[in-house]
Amino acid sequence: MEKSCERILRMKNNIFELLQESKYSDFGDGVSATWIELAERELNLKFSPSYRNFLEKFGFGELGGVEVFGIYQLPFDKIVGGGDIVSKNIIYRKNNQKNSDRLYVSDDNGEELFYFDLSRVLPCGEYAIRRIDRIAGTDEVYAEDFFKFLLKRLEFFESAE
């Protein structure tokens, strides 16, 4: 299991480099550990190591014009709109109380909605990313962890050319 965890963290630099080079990505400059801890406390959970790495490096951003939720570094109760993971998930939880085992991370406001499956912690503290297809009414595992989610989304937008 240790080698698997090391492999996931080694993937980070390669994925971050691909994201920075892609014309389909637009990301911020990262957030501090203090903001990450505030967000975790507000949501009453621990982010996966891969998502924490993303937050530290980028903070928030978009892939293919679709927001990948992050942290805006503003008081969570003052944020209106946008893709702050805390404010978005507070809204989702108010609208759908039965899904407390989900942490939503991307929503195209149309066909697809992605979330961390908090019901099962995977090796290395990771959570699978699930995809809800609103048109087909399906809910399936999309990626084993957040890094693979980013890579798969990037590949999706680049292959659409």
Write down the pTM of the prediction.
Answer: 0.89
Q: How confident is the model at residue 108 (pLDDT cuts 50, 70, 90)?
A: confident
Higher pLDDT: 4 or 1? It is 4
pLDDT in tens, 45-61: 999 999 999 999 999 99
* Type of residue found at 62: E
Residue 30, both tokens: 């990262």
| Percent over 70 (pLDDT), the chain | 91
Average pLDDT, the chain: 87
Q: Are 96 and 115 in contact (CB under 8 A)?
A: no
35: how many CB neighbours lie within 10 A of its CB? 19
Angle, alpha carbons 109-99-102 (nearest 5°): 70
Tell me the domains of the chain and their CATH numbers: 2-159 (3.40.1580.10)
Q: What is the pLDDT of residue 122?
A: 87
Supply the pLDDT for residue 49.
Answer: 92
